[in-house]
Each structure stands twice: as C-alpha cells, then as structure tokens.
Structure 1
C-alpha cells in the first residue's frame, strides 16, 4: 500500500514538474516564433522594395501589359474557341503591335523632324502680337516666348529620348508581351493570385477588379478614342492643306483632347490664327471649320455617346493625370497618368467601404 501510494505521489510530482517546465517553455517558444516572424517580414519587405526599385524603369511595361489584357481579354476568349489559348494569345499580341506599337515606331522619327518648323511657327505667332506699348506688356510677351521655347525643347526631348532609349524600349516591349502572354494563357491562376494579394474580402476584391476594368475602359476607350478621332481628323486636315509640322500639330491635338473643358481648341485656334496671319486664308477657313466640328460635333455628340455606354472620366482626373503622367511616363503618360489617378481614387473608396 505504501509503495503504491509512494508511486502515485512520484507520478503526481513528475506531472507537476513537466507541466511547470512546459509553462515556462511556452513563452520562450512564442517569443522565438514572434522574432522569426518579424525577421521574415523584414526580409520580405526589403526584397520587395529592392525588386520594386530595380523594376521601376519598367513599370510602364507591366502597366501596359495589364491595360492590353483588360482591353483584349474578350478578344482572346473569342479567338481561343477556334485556335486554343496559346495561338490566340499570339494573335492578340500581333494585333496590339499593329494597333499601338507599329504606328509609334513609324511616327516618332517623322515627328522629330517636324519639331523645328512648329517651334518656328509658334515663335512667328508670338512676334505677330502688337507692340507692347499699345497692347500686351513686354514681360508677358517674353514669358510667352520662353514658354513656347521650353515646350518645343520638352517635346523634342520626349521624341529624342524615345529614340535614344531604343534598347530599354525593346526590353520594355519584351517584358510587356511576356507579361501579356502569361496573363492571357493563365487567366485563372492570375485571377487567383490577384484575389489573394488584394487586401479586401473576396466579394470586395471581385468588385474592385470589375471597377478596375470599368475605369480602364472609360479612360482608354471613352477618352482615348475621342482624342484619337479628333487628332486624326485634325492631322489629316493639315496634311491636305500641306501645312508644315502636321504630325506635331496632331500630337499636340491628341494631348489637348485629354484636357477637360477646353481641349482641342487650345491647338486649332493658334493654328488657324497663324495661317490667317500668313495670308493663307483658305487654310485658315478650313482649320476654323474643322475645329468647330471637332469642338462641337465630336465633343458634344460622340464623347457623351461613348461615355453613356462605357463610363465617364472626371475632368479633374484627366487634368491631374496629364500633369503627373507626362513628366514621369513620357508620351505614355497621356493615358497612364489619368489611369493612375482613377485607380488611386478607386482604391481609396474601396478601402473606406471595407474598413470604415
């Protein structure tokens, strides 16, 4: 009896000691686990920042791939029924090259040669302003002249940098189309990864993706198509009238079309005044007629028609997007800038709805 009781007592003591040891050991394990988690988080953040820094020159490439995917996803789905995913992705890539890349490759060298004539025309336009004694103060005249000179230098710099950075542009194109090919051929996997990394509930994340699509369409299609139509008609008019620098005037019209409220009149009115001052009355009248059509018919009929079906971009978003986009992304900033502003506002709205 005594030995059995003694055995039970020893067992109880052993259990108590092991329990005490476990309780003492538990906080140490949790501390070590917390330290390991913190260390792993720091390593991940540092690597993420390094990768983001290393890939900064190619952010436009990834962004372009996402835009192409959003715009041509339905086209790829249609082609996949007949050719399979891989071949359909190749056809979409060829289509985007024909629509977006090839025209730029052909137009940029031609535009570069026309910067000088347009700058001369602008300087001539400033010189036609009456004497400062009777109308405009000399400091305003000097300011306008300097701004035109700066704008011409900036535009020339954009075009020259586009040619000089041919190597990096080639790398960017490769990254764009590799990313686009992956997105098109692995839609389901890409969708799963996207839903996991978006810091919202699944329902909110799905709604966010749909909103991203809507914003992209409203920016690229609604605003972009109208800008392209206006720019193309204006450029063709200047070509038919044999006016020097038609491509540069057209490029300026394209950029101006993204500016809310005023838009393309910023370009066609100075062009008309210049032709009128030079005595080219027929050219001036033609530019006036075409300009009025673009400003009234296209802006007041085509733009609302498209926006009603696709979506409208807020004027302030367009303006801020241009201000931010052009210096950081060059010519691509005309589209990328407004998109970034739209995406930021969308994320803020979703964040507020999700957590507040």
Structure 2
C-alpha cells in the first residue's frame, strides 16, 4: 500500500489541531456555563458516590428496576440527609433570631461581659493591653460597640436578601438531587463512557477513578462525622455549663472542626478563658479538660483513621490541603483541597510508572 502523500499528512495534522482547538473552546464554554452551579454539581456527584453502594444492594430487591431503585435511594437521601439538615438550619435560624433580638433589646450585653472580665484581669495583663491602648474600658467599649453596630448592620442586610438566598439554595439543592438521581441510576455506564474518552491506559484510568472515589468518600464521611461528633459534644458541654445559645455554638464548633487540629478549640477555648478570668474557675477548668481530652481526642483519633487511612496521604498533607482548599473554595474546599492533592500525587505516580 502506498504511503500517504505529504499533502494528506498535512491535512490530517491540521484537522487534528482544529479538533483540539474546538475541544478546548467548547470545554471552556461549558465550564463557564456550569461554574455558577459548581457546588451543586459537586454535591450531586458526592451523593451519588456515597449512595451508589446502597443502590446496588437495593437493585435486586426491587426486581432489577434501576429507576425505582434510584428513586428509593434518593428518598433515603432526603430522609437521612436533607430533612435533618433542614431541621437543624431552622432551629439555628430561630436561635440566631433570638440572639439578634437580645442584642437589640439589651437583654444580652456583650460589653457587660467584657467589663466583668476586664476588671478581673491581673496587672501584668493590663500592662500589655495598655501598650495597645485598650487599658481604658471606655475605649474598649467604644470599639466593641462599633463592631456590634457593623455586625447588626450586616445582619439587617442579610434579612433583606434571605428570600434570594432561599431561592438560590432551593435551585442548587434541586440540581444536586436531579444530577444525583441520574448518576446513581446510570453511573456505571457514564463512568465507562467518560473513561473511553480519556487517552490513558485502562489500568491507569481505573487507578485514577478509584483514587477519586476513595478520597471523596473518605473526606466527606470522615470530616463530616468528626464535625458532627465534635459539634454535638461541644454543644452538650455548653448546655451543661449554662452557656446561652448552645445550639448556635455547637454548629459553629462543627463548622470550625473542618479545620484539622485547632478547629473546635477556636470556639470553646475563648469561652473557657472567659470562665477562668471572671472567677468561674471550676467551669473554666472543666471546659478546658473536656475540650482537650474529649473534643480534641475525637479529632486526633478519628480523623487520621477515617480520612488519612483511606486516602493514603500523610496527615500533614491532608491538613494543609484542607486549609488551603477552604481558603480558595470556601466551605467546599474541605473536599476539593485533599481531592486535588490526591489527583496530583496519583498523576505523578502514573507518569513515573510510564517513564
């Protein structure tokens, strides 16, 4: 068979480059369209990864009807994930509204709490505050009042935008559940179709997908479980010590606990310090011991087991990428940070094996 003529080879090369340019352009266009809903798409994918094993278990029990099994799986998602989250958010909104009204009416006076703590400070602490111009309580109160005024203004602004935020939340939730349904029902065929388009050896494609799914499952289940346990333990301690707004503090501790090592301590630490400074010595000591030995132990024991063990990444890599991911992507960064790190390590490992 004669070799292709140079003109034919040039035409083929130009067609290949044109196809590459076209793929890049349409891919960028699609990313720009989907970017506003990247969080909803990500959580739809996460829900499908977490509940696909349940769908596979359920499938033979409903007569191998994929649509019915996917609908039942989605019902379980609504029952054990969406409904409890909605109830907690409603209770949190109620408690935040109570706190806001207390601040406006004067029933809750943070300046009074600071005044009590300020009067009980040792002289050497007062000398340090004097260097920063805070030794005069009137100055401190003015600064605190200004900060509270800004916070109240921000809260009032959020009241006017809550309708828009609710609509955006409902739209994002609908997209996530809609996408999760199809990924749960048709996930295997979708993964195979996408895999055929990736120009890698089958064993490498399988390795990357396995790493992707493992990291997502471990990060979500591990971090969220640790956050829920630490938030519940912290809220229980605050309730037992008579701290107002225990549910609000519990949610804050759960959110901060997504930051490894020091997360929940950013909430219970200042409260324990306030108890110690204001003379509630036993309350402060009890909260400190409870925070270190119980709340901190949960983070130190469970997080390496649930996250680091499955992802097969060192604890310091998980911690740094989690903090960096949250700095860039917000709350979703606790998943995206370790996931990007895992894909980075896997890609370089594959490159080394092929070379």
TM-score clears 0.5: yes
Aligned-residue offset at 1:224: 2.5
Contact 1:218–1:312 (CA<8 Å) still a contact in 2?
A: no
Partner of 1:168: 168
Q: 1:138 to 1:308 in 2, by over 3 A?
A: closer
Structure 1: 5+ residue runs without aligned partners? 1-21
SS in 1 for 2:260: coil
Deviates more, 1:161-170 or 1:178-187: 161-170
Count of paired positions: 330
Structure 1 CA distance, aligned partners of 2:115 and 2:343? 40
Q: Secondary structure at the match of 1:244?
A: coil
Question: Partner of 2:97 in structure 1?
Answer: 113
Taking a change above 3 Å as real, the CA distance of residues 191 and 327 of structure 1, as seen in their structure-2 partners, is closer
For normalisation by structure 1, the TM-score amounts to 0.74
* CA distance, structure 1, for counterparts of residue 344 and residue 221 of structure 2: 19
| TM-superposed deviation, 1:103 | 3.5
Could you give the per-residue CA deviations for residues 145-173 of structure 1, whole angstroms, max 9, x where no partner exists? 79x959979x9699877763222322222
Aligned equivalent of 2:329: 328
User: 1:323–1:311: structure 2 CA closer, same or farther, 3 Å change rule?
Assistant: closer
Cross-structure match for 1:102? 83
How far does residue 241 in structure 1 lie from its aligned partner after superposition? 4.2
CA contact (8 A) 1:217 1:311 kept: no
- Displacement of 1:216: 2.0
Residue of structure 1 in register with 2:132 after alignment: 138
Aligned in 2, Cα 1:174/1:242: closer, same or farther, shift over 3 Å? same
Change (3 A) 1:159 1:291: farther
SS of corresponding position for 2:250: helix
**Runs (5+) with no aligned partner, structure 2:** none
Relative distance call for 1:261 and 1:162 in structure 2 (3 A) is farther
Q: Does the 8 Å contact 1:325/1:332 carry over to 2? A: yes
Cα distance 1:202–1:305, how it changes in 2: closer, same or farther (>3 A)?
A: closer
Q: Is contact 1:258–1:319 with CA below 8 Å preserved after alignment?
A: no
Partner SS for 1:262: coil
CA distance in 1, matches of 2:302, 2:268: 19
Larger radius of gyration: 1
Partner of 1:88: 69
- Cα offsets for 1:183-237 (capped at 9, x unmatched): 2111331121232244421101111111122222331223331221111121233
Matched with 2:42 is 63
Q: Which one is further off, 171-180 or 91-100?
A: 91-100
Paired position in structure 1 for 2:209: 209
